[in-house]
């Protein structure tokens, strides 16, 4: 049985703007746990999900244009790449990119128990971008996220982690706002527009630029 990877670590990646995503610097712990849970993160595990992934690529390729993503409801940067000093979450394993959030789909970390507990494989809550050397943004992946409180509200206390594209979502427990409380949640990054040598479902991408 594959168990969800728990994202933990000693540090928090912060940024100066308001709704900034902050992730644990999961360096040694995450690396070890990912090795033990390789089937959850290894790109070879996509067997049986090729059709869904190809549909995602086809449906979301247009959102390489950020303006089109905004029109589709992805409107809040986390962190904002235009903010002074902003950088995306990073660890020795790689980076996570800049997140463009569909807030109605994700819900508010301030009230996670009221969030949307729906996991729709055709509609991720966030888009992942990298910042190119010329300052433009390029779509590299998508991410699903659901707050643990919302998930257990619907499925019951202690419910198993949700799955999407045949993969168990990974447990995370970090703040979403600078100085705010940690918010337990489940997440899954899928690098559908930029091959990840660590695997399509690994949370960190060593070749993403910020």
pLDDT, one tens digit per residue, over 113-141 is 998 899 999 999 999 999 999 999 999 99
- 45 pLDDT above the threshold of 50: no
Higher pLDDT, 34 or 62: 62
Tokens of 183: 């918010």
Confidence of residue 48 (pLDDT cuts 50, 70, 90): low
Give me the domain span that covers residue 147: 6-190
Whole-number pLDDT of residue 175: 87
pLDDT, one tens digit per residue, over 158-188 is 999 999 999 999 999 988 877 889 999 999 9
Q: Is the pTM of this model over 0.85?
A: no
**Terminal alpha carbon distance of the chain:** 35
The whole-angstrom separation of Cα 68 and Cα 98 is 16
3-state SS, one letter per residue, for the chain: CCCCCEECCCEECCCCCCCCCCCEECHHHHHHHHHHCHHHHCHHHHCCCHHHHHHHHHHHHHHHCHHHHHHCCCCEEECCCCCCCCCCEEECCEEEEEEEECHHHHCCCCCHHHCCCCCCCCCCCEEEEEECCCCCEEEEEEEEEEEHHHHHHHHCCCCCCCEECCEECEEEEEECCCCCCEEEEEEEEECCCCCCCCCCCCCCECCCCC
Tell whether 208 is covered by a domain: no
Tokens of 156: 């019951």
CB-based burial of residue 177 (10 Å sphere; 0-12 exposed, 13-18 middle, 19+ buried)? middle
Across 52-56, 78-82, 105-109, 186-190, which has the greatest mean pLDDT?
A: 186-190
- 84 pLDDT above the threshold of 90: no
Q: Is 61 left (phi over 0), alpha (psi -120 to 50) or beta?
A: alpha
Tell whether 202 is covered by a domain: no
- 1 pLDDT above the threshold of 70: no
Please give the mean pLDDT across all residues of the chain: 81
- Evaluate the CA torsion angle 90, 99, 193, 151 in order and state its sign: positive
Tell whether 116 is covered by a domain: yes
Whole-number pLDDT of residue 18: 36
The whole-angstrom separation of Cα 18 and Cα 26 is 23
Least confident range from 11-15, 62-66, 73-77, 79-83: namely 11-15
Tell whether 125 is covered by a domain: yes
Tell whether 92 is covered by a domain: yes
Whole-number pLDDT of residue 94: 97
Higher pLDDT, 14 or 164: 164
Least confident range from 81-90, 147-156, 184-193: namely 81-90
Number of C-alpha atoms within 13 angstroms, CB side, residue 80?
11
The whole-angstrom separation of Cα 59 and Cα 63 is 9
Average pLDDT on 89-100 reads 94
Tell whether 145 is covered by a domain: yes
User: Which residues pair with residue 189 across a beta bridge?
Assistant: 143
Count the domains in the chain: 1
């Amino acid at each position: 049985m594959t168990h969800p990877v728990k994202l933990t670590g000693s540090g928090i990646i912060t940024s100066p703007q308001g709704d900034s995503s902050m992730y644990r610097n999961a360096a040694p712990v995450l690396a070890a746990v990912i090795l033990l849970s390789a089937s959850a993160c290894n790109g070879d595990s996509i067997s049986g999900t090729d059709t869904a992934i190809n549909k995602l690529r086809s449906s979301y390729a247009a959102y390489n244009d950020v303006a089109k993503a905004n029109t589709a409801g992805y409107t809040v940067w986390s962190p904002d790449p235009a903010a002074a000093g902003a950088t995306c979450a990073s660890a020795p394993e790689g980076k996570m990119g800049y997140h463009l959030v569909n807030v109605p789909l994700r819900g508010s970390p301030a009230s996670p128990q009221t969030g949307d507990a729906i996991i729709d494989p055709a509609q991720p809550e966030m888009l992942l971008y990298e910042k190119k050397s010329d300052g433009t943004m390029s779509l590299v992946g998508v991410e699903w996220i659901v707050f643990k409180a919302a998930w257990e509200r619907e499925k019951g206390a202690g419910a198993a982690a949700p799955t999407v594209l045949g993969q168990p979502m990974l447990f995370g427990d970090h703040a979403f706002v600078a100085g705010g409380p940690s918010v337990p949640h489940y997440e899954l990054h899928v690098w559908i527009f930029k091959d990840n040598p660590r695997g399509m479902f690994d949370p960190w991408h060593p070749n993403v630029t910020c």
